[in-house]
Amino acid sequence: MSVHESGAVGKTEGTKKGATMDHSWEKLTAEFAKHDDGVVKNWKEDIDTLLVFAGLFSAVVTAFAIESYQWLLESPADTTVALLMQISMQLNASQVILPERASFKADASSIRINSYWFLSLVFSLTSALFGLLCKQWLREHQRDPPTRTPGEALALRQLRQESFEKWGVPSLLSALPILLEVALLLFFAGVLDLLWNRHLIPFALCFIAVMVSAGLYFVTTFLPTLTVPRKQWENISNADFHKLVYHFICPYKSPQAWAAYRLSRRVLHPLLRFQFMHRFLVNRAENLYHHIRYPVSEWSSLDLQVVRQFDDHPFPFSDSDPCNLKVYELRALQWAFATFRDSPSIVPHLENILGTLPPSVVMSAVFGQWKYIMWEDTTKADIELRLRDPGAFFRSREERLQRYFGIWWAPPPDIRNPTLHYPEGIGLLFCHQYWMAMARRDDLRDRLDDLFVSMRKAYPELQQTTGLRFVIPFPVVDILWTHEDPEVRMQSLRLLRLFEEAAWKPELGYDEQRHDQERLAFISALTRHLGRTDRASQLLTSGRGQKFIQFVNDQIIDRRLYQTSWRNQAFLRDRRRLVLEWTGVVRRVQEAGNLPLEYFAPIPDRSEDPPATFQAGDPAGTRYSLDTVHSPRHSTSHSVTMEHAVEAIPGQSRVRAEGSDLGLVEAGEQDTCV
């Protein structure tokens, strides 16, 4: 390259760099101006409103003051009457000594009333005066003189902004409405004092009205401080998802409310040094405690703090390995979907935004289709189809689930709408996504205990709040029972006791028809799981898994789930198809486990009842080892029970076989009982 060419290239790059630098300064200056103009615009709007109210209020007070100030002077009419009486007495009895006329003295009530009203008028006019002054200051604050460089213009804006704060102009602007409100309260006090001395009935009516107005004023002043939302990072970190709540922010934000917020912290913060006060605030007033310990610089910071409180991750996740659900963003998207789903111009944008979220989160939290994520995987294609063509989406679901019709008729969770406003909806969403994320971790083998403890802790709470008996999403156990790590597959069999005892068994007070629908959905999902050809399930290859399949088969017979009370031919056909699919799965289990034909009881025809000699197995009365090999049904001579399994292991005690809680005991030991 020649020198000329090098110079030309250098000049081009320099010009390019200079243009980019100018653009950067312009962009930065524009952002400064946008922020500054927004603040000044809000101040001007407040001042304009204040001036209008101050003018009207001053006119009202003036009308009362014109009348009341005369009460401080002696009435000319009274003076005339007194003189006429004196003349009359002199004419009638010239020798009588006339009493000396008393000097005028205003009564205490008139003095108080005039004090209230004239102070009110002075405060009102003072607020208007300083409002005008502030508008002049703001106009000068926004004046843009010519500058030599963009940096100089930026420096001038920053200097003016900091000088405004240094000289207390924002505080003065915040105090003007308070001054006008004090004037209004003084006027009310004068009115009540006047009526007290005139008549009791109007006084009582006005007193009630004034007390209600003043009470609401003070309530709205202190409510933002008293309702400061507490932080939730501890509940998220400890996976206590049932304690999570959707916090609303108090909208009663005003200068006097901000003053109450700051004052309350200054007063209460020194009290935290006393142990009893610290315990009281933590246990009885947690919101107030968080306000004292973690103050904010302005109301907007508090709002953002609330929005970001779901940014934290449950253990063992972190920013580098995230597992967080931004509930407030999800709620906004939920509202946007409900409002704009029929708008063709908005749907593509919703599709782009929702495409950045896990499909199961969108399907449940945004679309409200909880039962789909309970029993099968959800893909991005499902989300796109649901947005573009809801009719086609539901038709495709119906066709896809026709073979496993139990899932189609599975009951949804009984949670209130909008679901993200209530703890049961948030808890269910967090549990599902946390368990799914844990099941997909690379180090799942080391985290199985954390996963199982979370399930055991959350299961009863979720059953109570959602009205479901099966609350663990089947895609989670599908991952666990077909995991590439054999140790994970083996230890995951501990979940079977949870399904047998906590999910499958009847519950007093629970709708049995609804429970049967859940059982059928579970059978449908289990049938599809056992029929997988890409990867074999641990249920097929382990004695404990085969025993569980035997348990489900017995329950189908015992509870007559192969029958249906509906006479619709489609229902009869679908139920028969499910029974045939299940029979095929059972045959596969027999072949995989080399089990005798009598291991599984045959399912009767839909018009038949179970045989009189049939007795469903009840695994609740027996504890099994993870690697126990089970003998055929009704054969007691070769049955390998948990007791024999424990006796066969040196150094193991029976106590361990008795010690599991819903089957979720410590991981890492293949012979741990389930």
Instruction: Answer yes or no: is pLDDT of 563 > 70.
Output: yes
Phi-psi category of residue 423: left, alpha or beta, with phi > 0 → left and psi -120 to 50 → alpha: alpha
pLDDT of residue 148: 84
Say whether both 134 and 268 belong to one domain.
Answer: no
Helix (H, G, I), strand (E, B) or coil at 289: helix
Say whether both 194 and 248 belong to one domain.
Answer: no
Contact 271, 292 (CB under 8 A): no
pLDDT of residue 674: 30
Tokens of 382: 């499902």
Say whether both 55 and 166 belong to one domain.
Answer: yes
pLDDT of residue 99: 59
In this prediction, residues 181-191 reach a mean pLDDT of 94
Say whether both 35 and 127 belong to one domain.
Answer: yes
Picking from 616, 617, 619, the residue whose alpha carbon sits closest to that of residue 660 is 619
CA–CA separation, 660 and 663 (whole Å): 5
Instruction: Say if 358 falls within a structural domain.
Output: no
**Residue 593 structural domain:** 401-658
CA–CA separation, 478 and 532 (whole Å): 10
Write the DSSP string, 358-405: -HHHIIIIIT--HHHHHHS---HHHHHHHHH-HHHHHHHHHHHTSTTH
Say whether both 34 and 171 belong to one domain.
Answer: yes
- Which sign, positive or negative, has the C-alpha torsion 51, 54, 57, 63? negative
Q: Which residue would you say has higher pLDDT here, 671 or 146?
A: 146
pLDDT of residue 89: 67
Say whether both 644 and 530 belong to one domain.
Answer: yes
- Count Cβ atoms within 10 A of the Cβ of residue 322 and give its class: 0-12 exposed, 13-18 middle, 19 or more buried: exposed
In this prediction, residues 460-469 reach a mean pLDDT of 93
Condensed to tens digits (0 to 9), the pLDDT of residues 255-268 reads 889 888 888 888 88
Instruction: Say if 7 falls within a structural domain.
Output: no
pLDDT of residue 123: 95
Location of structure tokens 């009203």: 117
Instruction: Say if 362 falls within a structural domain.
Output: no
Condensed to tens digits (0 to 9), the pLDDT of residues 618-628 reads 554 444 444 44
Helix (H, G, I), strand (E, B) or coil at 673: strand
pLDDT of residue 437: 95
Residue 4: pLDDT band with limits 50, 70, 90? very low
- Altogether, the residues listed in the chain come to a count of 674
Q: Which residue would you say has higher pLDDT here, 143 or 623?
A: 143
Contact 488, 444 (CB under 8 A): yes
Instruction: Say if 496 falls within a structural domain.
Output: yes
For residue 673, how many other CB atoms are within 10 A of its CB?
24
In this prediction, residues 655-669 reach a mean pLDDT of 37
Picking from 413, 437, 438, 439, the residue whose alpha carbon sits closest to that of residue 427 is 413
The shares of helix, strand and coil residues in the chain, as percent rounded to the nearest 5, are 70, 0, 30
Picking from 532, 454, 447, 529, the residue whose alpha carbon sits closest to that of residue 491 is 447
Say whether both 237 and 180 belong to one domain.
Answer: no
Residue burial 191-206, b: 16+ Cβ < 10 Å; e: rest: bbbbbbeeeeeebeeb
Instruction: Report residue 566 CA to chain centroid gap.
Output: 41
**How many structural domains does the chain have?**
3
pLDDT of residue 76: 66
Considering 172, 198, 224, which residue would you say is the last residue of a domain?
Answer: 198
In this prediction, residues 527-549 reach a mean pLDDT of 92
Condensed to tens digits (0 to 9), the pLDDT of residues 14-48 reads 444 445 777 878 888 888 888 888 888 989 999 99
Say whether both 166 and 257 belong to one domain.
Answer: no
Instruction: Say if 94 falls within a structural domain.
Output: no
Condensed to tens digits (0 to 9), the pLDDT of residues 579-615 reads 888 999 999 999 888 999 889 999 888 767 677 666 6
Considering 310, 328, 347, which residue would you say is the last residue of a domain?
Answer: 310
Residue 636: pLDDT band with limits 50, 70, 90? very low
CA–CA separation, 606 and 361 (whole Å): 39
Say whether both 36 and 122 belong to one domain.
Answer: yes
Instruction: Say if 5 falls within a structural domain.
Output: no
Q: Which residue would you say has higher pLDDT here, 673 or 475?
A: 475
Considering 294, 310, 326, which residue would you say is the last residue of a domain?
Answer: 310
CA distances 119 to 187, 210, 312, 558, Å, are 8, 18, 53, 86
Upper half-sphere CA count for residue 421 (Cβ side, 13 Å): 8
Tokens of 274: 């006393």
Instruction: Say if 390 falls within a structural domain.
Output: no
Q: Which residue would you say has higher pLDDT here, 226 or 652?
A: 226
Condensed to tens digits (0 to 9), the pLDDT of residues 285-297 reads 777 777 787 788 8
Write the DSSP string, 438-460: HHT-TTHHHHHHHHHHHHHHHHH
Instruction: Answer yes or no: is pLDDT of 389 > 80.
Output: yes
pLDDT of residue 613: 63
pLDDT of residue 568: 66
In this prediction, residues 87-107 reach a mean pLDDT of 64
Say whether both 174 and 272 belong to one domain.
Answer: no
In this prediction, residues 291-319 reach a mean pLDDT of 87
Say whether both 431 and 299 belong to one domain.
Answer: no
pLDDT of residue 651: 34
Say whether both 414 and 544 belong to one domain.
Answer: yes
Instruction: Say if 350 falls within a structural domain.
Output: no
Contact 39, 105 (CB under 8 A): no
Task: For the chain, give the mean pLDDT.
Answer: 82
